[in-house]
Amino acid sequence: MKKYLLLSFMISAAVSGFAQTPTFGVRAGLSSANLRGDAVKSLGNIIDFADGMITTGSRTGFFAGANASIPLGPQFFVEPGLYYSQKGYTLNGNLTVKGLDFLGANAKAQLQTNYLDIPVLLKANMGGLEVFAGPQFSYLMNANLKTTAGVLGFNLLDKTMDATAQFNRWDVGVTGGLGYKFTNGVSVSAAYDYGLSKINADKSLEAYNRAFKIGVGFNF
């Protein structure tokens, strides 16, 4: 309930802020995304191999999109935005590969999820230094799972499958970070996305999106 009240407050602030003249901008950068919670079990339910010693890691991707900066006063702004964002997760290890008559193949699975992120940020600008935070809605465009396995330098498995139906289409979270805006309109920022919604379709597992982002923007 608290996250929806916060979202309602931010949207109300954005509407009231339209009495001021907004500016528009673009932003793009790199992301390092991961899952937290029962993430390994979640992927194990849909991949073609499991049962072994595994390590987990993040997926490196990018994000890009546009935003509007709506003044609430000399130093405070509401910034709604729309971004394409790559997220996901990786598994690595010596696993049992179903359908092959040996164990210990060097296998890797990478969950590749592509979202539309819709943040509504409250931003403070203090002499160029920017601090921002707010709720974020994310819509899953698609999810693919790429699996590879090999032994002795030979690639024995290379498969990509559509896993979209296994995941919840909508994710509600919060995001926040720091940045610096130069007088010429160029800005740099670092932010962390913290998903609050369970990502699997039936919401039976405690698995959530997490992502660290660094970006460069420009306000017109």
How far apart, in whole angstroms, are the C-alpha atoms of residue 151 and residue 198? Answer: 35
- Structure confidence at residue 110 as a pLDDT band (50, 70, 90): confident
Whole-structure pTM value:
0.81
Looking at residue 160, its pLDDT comes to 87
Average pLDDT of the chain?
Answer: 83
Q: What is the number of domains present in the chain?
A: 1
Residue 40 φ/ψ, nearest 5 degrees: -65, -45
Find the CATH number of the domain harbouring 36.
2.40.160.20
Query: Domain containing 204: what range?
Result: 2-219
Whose CA is closest to 166, among 58, 3, 62, 41? Answer: 41
pLDDT at 84: 98
